[in-house]
Amino acid sequence: MLAFCLKTLMGKRIALFGTSADPPTIGHKKILEELSKIYSFTISYVSNNPNKNHKEDISIRSHLLKTLIEDLDNPKILFNQNVSSQWAVESINNLDFVIGSDLIKDIFHWKNFDKIIKEVSFFIILRDGYPVESNTLKMLETYKVKFKISTIKIPNISSSKLRSHFSYSNLPTSLIDIVKKNNLYESTKLVE
C-alpha cells in the first residue's frame, strides 16, 4: 500500500509525522490540520520510541491515531501504520520528517543518522519550553542537515503532560468515548 501511495505522490512534498501518541492530543490534531495546509500529503503513524516508556500498547495508540485522522476527514492526511519503525530509517524523496523541537537534539544519535540526513529535510515544530538552541543550530549546520523551523502554533499540551494531569478536554473529541469505554489512561486525578 505504501509503495503505491509513494509512486502516486512522486514529485509532491510529503510530510511524515510519526509520533508515540500516548495518547493523541489536541496538539497532535492541530499539527495534522496545519500540515495539511502546507504539504500535498501528510503520512502519519504511531511508533514505539525506544527512549520512552509507553503507557498503552502500540496497537491501541495506532487505533486512537487512526480514529483521529478518520474524524479529520481530510484526504491530504493519510494514516499508514506500515511506515512505523522504532528507527527512523525511511528514505523517500521529497520527504520532510516532522519532529518536535523537544526531540531535535536526539537526531544526532539516531541509528543511520548519516543516511537519514541525506534523504530527508526536517520540519521542526516548536514546542513551548523547548527552543531550538544556538548550539543545536550549529550542529545541524555542521552535519549539513536540511531543516525548516515551523511557524505552526500548537496548544501547550503533550501526551506525557496529559497523562500526568489527565483531562478529557485535552483529547480530540473523537477519542473521548474510546478512552472512556476502554478505561485507557486511567488516573486517580481524572478530570472531566
Catalogue the E-assigned strands of 34-192: 41-46, 77-79, 95-100, 120-125, 146-149
Residue 8 in this model has a pLDDT that exceeds 80: no
Cα distance between residue 170 and residue 156, in whole Å: 10
Burial of 23 (0-12, 13-18, 19+ CB in 10 A): buried
Cα distance between residue 148 and residue 49, in whole Å: 23
pLDDT in tens, 146-188: 999 999 999 999 998 898 888 899 999 999 999 999 999 875 3
Element (H, E) at 121: strand 120-125
Interstrand relation of 77-79 and 146-149 (parallel, antiparallel or unpaired) = unpaired
Residue 126 per-residue DSSP state: P
Rank 6-15, 44-53, 84-93 by mean pLDDT and report only the highest.
Answer: 44-53
Cross-strand bridge partners of residue 127: 130
Domain boundaries, the chain: 12-181
Per-residue confidence (pLDDT) for residue 1, from 0 to 100: 31
Q: What count of other Cβ atoms lies within 10 Å of the Cβ of residue 185?
A: 20
Per the CATH hierarchy, to which homologous superfamily does domain 12-181 belong? HUPs (3.40.50.620)
Rounded mean pLDDT, 110-130: 91
